[in-house]
Amino acid sequence: MPDDLNWAIGGEAGDGIDSTGKIFAQALSRAGRHVFTSKDFASRIRGGYTAYKVRTGAEPVESVVDRLDILIALTERTIEENMDELHEGSFIIYDDERSTMRDVEIPDEMIGLPVPLKRLAEEAGGAIMRNVVALGAACEVAGFPIENLDEALEKRFGSKGQAIVENNETAARLGREYVEEEFDYDYPYELICTDEDYVLLNGDQAIGMGAIAAGCRFYAGYPITPATEVMEYLTGRIEQFGGTVVQAEDELAAINLALGGARAGARSMTATSGPGIDLMTETFGLVATSETPLVIVDVMRSGPSTGMPTKQEQGDLNMLLHGGHGEVPRFVLAPTTVAECFHKTIEAFNLAEKYQIPVYLTSDLSLAVTEQTYPPEEFDMDEVEVERGKVVDEESIADWQNENEQFQPHFPTADGVSPRAFPGTSGGAHMTTGLEHDALGRRTEDPEVRVEQVDKRDRKVDTARERENFDYREFGNPEADTLVISWGSNEGAMTEALTLLEDDGYDVRFISVPYIFPRPDLSEEIDASETTIVVECNANGPFADLIEHDTLTRVERINKYTGVRFKADELAAEVKDVLAETGEVAQ
């Protein structure tokens, strides 16, 4: 019996789709199963449609695929929207007593399960529980013991009282029993439960948790999809650790608030999406030239302008690398998975403070909305190290004062990193400015000092390259002739695509790059391969451009800019197509 199941619930926005899907995902996670979720927000046809999709396996699942096995359709549109993913034998659960669903035609090759969701919900205590009836029905089809739902229902409804929880448990059971009694199909699924304890979280939450773990105490932000959940996560939690969240009046204020927090010595962060980065770019240069450690998160969405706000895209790369007038270094990190959103956030804070530099942490919509299971050890707080760099105290401050006992915050050291004195440190009073400045942080237009300060700031990048390990993550066969490279969130889809390609006899090496600047030099890897393919979720391939620039070698490209993330099976097929075109058939 297949153990890898793709499940979805879809309907109109406001139908409780998200919370129902979350209950199912949570139940699976609590039953020791791996889960990978995704969301359809809006439509290819018209607005209003929304769906929550759950892929589950006993083994880790890291991607969405082009297949849907069980669909709870609250509207007819839900079926239309998912026709590509539905297949022969897919089960569609729907309420045939609902006036809008009465005449729904289930395609011949699929199996419709008409269940009176509303009527059964009313029997259990209220029509509002119709989605939970559907969950119960789906449990029967999926071969998933209904008791597993109870804990998730408790978590969701516990605050509303035990009666509500019990009503929901009853509703789920009525749905399950109805399917058991009314239909006589042979359901090919059995979702095996294990004793594993997994945690279930999304990329925005992982960034927020990573920030608190890293000692972030000051967060300022302005709500924007799909970054808002970082702020929502931190609100109410960061305070427990002595920190605060400030909702700014706009992104201009948000980055300046965070800059203020950082100048005061707090680990500070702001998170936004592309349109917010546009505004923050004004202050970005000040952050960089004043050598202030700051973590700026860009949860990318489709652009330009307002673009497709609820759609996936990796289109901000060049803005992060080059945004702002003048020349000044910054680091750019791109976590490749939900768990890496946690780890890279911690690393971003350490890099920011060690090199007194702004760090862009770029996630994207697909990481932000994906809830994924991990063993809790993945987020081992005992492993977290906080490295604050060259912070001086009252004793050591004299080493960094000039002959007039003035502290020199931009002293041009050999490694480019200057001493840092937190305000309040006796003998450390100093200014800094967005104007070009000297070692004291005071305005200068002296040509020699100008060159000295530019070189000093750039030198920090060389120092970081020497001291840090800006390496890639590697998968597949390191000896393969075909090399696939991607950055950011495509890793999950590509690692699963590797398995599919292997099954078909294709030998592929996959390099997933989490460091955009500074980044690993891939010259040797590209030299060693016959064909190099760069995969990214945008139209023009800015990362492929970087690789070509770095290695002076042309690469093949797979780009997707429909607004939907890569799916594993789709990506495997595209890799095959590229290899067929380039004559590299590795079979």
User: Can you tell me which residue has the tokens 């993913």?
Assistant: 85
State in angstroms the smallest separation of the CB of 243 from other proteins. 6
Residues in region 427-466 near other proteins by CB under 8 A = 427-435, 442-443
In this chain, which stretch among 37-45, 243-251, 360-368, 543-551 interacts with other proteins, using CB under 8 A? 243-251
Q: Which of 287/493 has CB closer to other proteins?
A: 287
State in angstroms the smallest separation of the CB of 205 from other proteins. 7
Q: Which of 256/356 has CB closer to other proteins?
A: 256
For position 561 contacting other proteins by CB under 8 A, the verdict is no
In this structure, what token pair is assigned to residue 208?
A: 């927020």
State in angstroms the smallest separation of the CB of 90 from other proteins. 31
State in angstroms the smallest separation of the CB of 527 from other proteins. 41
* ∠ Cα 367 230 44 (to 5°): 45
Partners of 332 in the β-ladder: 360, 517
Helix axes 147-157, 17-30, angle to 10 degrees: 130
Residue 462: phi and psi, rounded to 5, are: -60, -45
Residue type, 13: A
In this chain, which stretch among 110-118, 135-143, 247-255, 465-473 interacts with other proteins, using CB under 8 A? 247-255
> For the residues of 465-529, what is the DSSP string, one character each?
HHHS--PPEEEE-TT-SEEEEEEGGGHHHHHHHHHHHHHTT--EEEEEE-EEES----HHHHHH-
What is d(CA 233, CA 401) in angstroms, rounded to the nearest whole number?
A: 42
Q: How many residues does the chain have?
A: 587
The answer for residues whose C-beta is within 8 angstroms of residue 232's C-beta and 6 or more apart is none
What is d(CA 120, CA 491) in angstroms, rounded to the nearest whole number?
A: 43
**Residue of 54, 129, 213, 296 that binds other proteins (CB under 8 A):** 213
Q: Which of 265/541 has CB closer to other proteins?
A: 265
For position 324 contacting other proteins by CB under 8 A, the verdict is no
Residues in region 150-169 near other proteins by CB under 8 A = none
Count residues near other proteins (CB under 8 A).
71
State in angstroms the smallest separation of the CB of 310 from other proteins. 24
Residues in region 166-205 near other proteins by CB under 8 A = 197-201, 205
C-beta separation of 218 from 268 below 8 A: yes
Residue type, 567: K
For position 244 contacting other proteins by CB under 8 A, the verdict is yes
The tally of CA atoms less than 13 A away on the side-chain side of residue 579 is 21
State in angstroms the smallest separation of the CB of 254 from other proteins. 8
State in angstroms the smallest separation of the CB of 245 from other proteins. 9
State in angstroms the smallest separation of the CB of 297 from other proteins. 17
In this structure, what token pair is assigned to residue 299?
A: 């949860």
Residues in region 508-547 near other proteins by CB under 8 A = none
423 φ/ψ sector (left φ>0, alpha ψ -120 to 50, else beta): beta
State in angstroms the smallest separation of the CB of 198 from other proteins. 8
In this chain, which stretch among 142-150, 169-177, 251-259, 528-536 interacts with other proteins, using CB under 8 A? 251-259
3-state secondary structure of 194: coil
Q: Which of 392/579 has CB closer to other proteins?
A: 392
Residues in region 10-39 near other proteins by CB under 8 A = 29-30
| DSSP state for residue 520 in the 8-state scheme | -
Does the CA dihedral 547-458-292-237 come out positive or negative?
A: positive
Q: Which of 146/199 has CB closer to other proteins?
A: 199
In this chain, which stretch among 55-63, 131-139, 161-169, 253-261 interacts with other proteins, using CB under 8 A? 253-261
Q: Which of 307/427 has CB closer to other proteins?
A: 427
State in angstroms the smallest separation of the CB of 276 from other proteins. 14
Residues in region 373-412 near other proteins by CB under 8 A = 376, 379, 381-382, 384-386, 404
State in angstroms the smallest separation of the CB of 25 from other proteins. 11
**Residue of 21, 57, 203, 243 that binds other proteins (CB under 8 A):** 243
Q: Which of 144/218 has CB closer to other proteins?
A: 218
3-state secondary structure of 408: coil
For position 237 contacting other proteins by CB under 8 A, the verdict is yes
What is d(CA 303, CA 538) in angstroms, rounded to the nearest whole number?
A: 10
In this chain, which stretch among 224-232, 233-241, 356-364, 518-526 interacts with other proteins, using CB under 8 A? 233-241
In this chain, which stretch among 255-263, 323-331, 488-496, 546-554 interacts with other proteins, using CB under 8 A? 255-263
Q: Which of 20/256 has CB closer to other proteins?
A: 256
For position 422 contacting other proteins by CB under 8 A, the verdict is yes
Strands 482-487 and 531-536: parallel
For position 576 contacting other proteins by CB under 8 A, the verdict is no
Among residues 8, 12, 16, the alpha carbon closest in space to that of 50 is found at 12
C-beta separation of 15 from 47 below 8 A: no
State in angstroms the smallest separation of the CB of 176 from other proteins. 24
State in angstroms the smallest separation of the CB of 259 from other proteins. 6
**Residue of 89, 223, 424, 478 that binds other proteins (CB under 8 A):** 424
State in angstroms the smallest separation of the CB of 392 from other proteins. 13
**Residue of 127, 241, 527, 540 that binds other proteins (CB under 8 A):** 241
Sheet holding 5-12, edge to edge: 111-114, 86-94, 68-73, 5-12, 49-57, 34-40, 371-374, 199-202
The answer for residues whose C-beta is within 8 angstroms of residue 144's C-beta and 6 or more apart is 27, 28, 31, 138, 189, 191
Residues in region 256-315 near other proteins by CB under 8 A = 256-268, 282-283, 286, 290
The answer for residues whose C-beta is within 8 angstroms of residue 520's C-beta and 6 or more apart is 470, 471, 472, 513
3-state secondary structure of 148: helix
CA–chain centroid gap for 103, Å, is: 40
**Residue of 80, 180, 182, 250 that binds other proteins (CB under 8 A):** 250
Strands 111-114 and 371-374: unpaired
